[in-house]
Amino acid sequence: MAPMPWTINSEIYPLWARSTAIAIASCTYWVFNLLVSMTFLTLTEYLTRFGM
């Protein structure tokens, strides 16, 4: 899944919009990676507390 934002954007957008689309996709990708990294331990503690 990691190279998907760059692969998809480089194929579907025209050349004039490609750099902007890749920049937005890259920022979104890193924001969601940060979100997962920041909440993973809390989420696993919460889920294992109830035996899941």
How many of the other CB atoms lie within 10 Å of CB of 9? 19
What is the predicted pLDDT for the residue at 49? 72
Give the H or E element holding residue 16. helix 15-49
Tokens matching residue 20 = 């902007």
Stated pTM of the model: 0.69
Average pLDDT, the chain: 85
Owner of token pair 């035996």: 51
Mean pLDDT value across residues 15-42: 91
